[in-house]
Amino acid sequence: MRKTSLIAVAVAMTASAPAFAQDGQSEYFDGFYIGGTISADQPEDSNTDGIVFDTNGDGVFNDTVRSTTGADAFSPGFCNGAAVGATAGQGCVDDEADFGYSARIGYDQRLNGGPIVVGLLVEGARSEATEFSNGFSTTPASYTVVRQMDWSVNARGRVGYSPGDGRGLFYVTGGVGYAKIDHGFVTTNGANAFTQQNDDDWQFGAQVGGGAELMLTRNIGIGLEYLYSDYNDDDYSVLVTQGTAPATNPFLLDSGQTSIAPTDRNLRMHSLRATASFHF
Domains assigned to the chain: 29-279 (2.40.160.20)
> Which segment of 20-29, 34-43, 150-159, 161-170 scores lowest on mean pLDDT?
20-29
Q: Are 223 and 278 in contact (CB under 8 A)?
A: no
Q: Are 213 and 222 in contact (CB under 8 A)?
A: yes
The more confidently predicted of residues 45 and 254 is 254
* Residue 204 identity: F
Q: What pLDDT sits at residue 1?
A: 43
Is a pLDDT exceeding 90 seen at residue 97?
yes
Q: What pLDDT sits at residue 16?
A: 41
Is a pLDDT exceeding 80 seen at residue 20?
no
Backbone phi, psi, residue 161, to 5°: -120, 130
Is a pLDDT exceeding 70 seen at residue 94?
yes
Average of per-residue pLDDT across 260-277? 96
Rounded distance, CA 124 to CA 105, Å?
9
Average of per-residue pLDDT across 148-175? 96
Average of per-residue pLDDT across 190-203? 94
Residue 26 DSSP class: T
CB burial of residue 98 (10 Å; 0-12, 13-18, 19+)? middle
Q: Minimal CA–CA distance to 134: which of 87, 174, 65?
A: 87
Q: What pLDDT sits at residue 14?
A: 37
Q: What pLDDT sits at residue 45?
A: 81
Is a pLDDT exceeding 90 seen at residue 219?
yes
CB burial of residue 82 (10 Å; 0-12, 13-18, 19+)? buried
DSSP assignments along 131-145, one per residue:
EEEEEEETTTEEEEE
Name the pLDDT band for 113 (thresholds 50, 70, 90): confident
Q: What pLDDT sits at residue 26?
A: 58
Name the pLDDT band for 199 (thresholds 50, 70, 90): confident
The more confidently predicted of residues 2 and 270 is 270
Using a cut of 0.75, tell me whether the model's pTM lies above it.
yes
Is a pLDDT exceeding 60 seen at residue 128?
yes
The mean pLDDT of the chain is: 91
Q: What pLDDT sits at residue 27?
A: 87
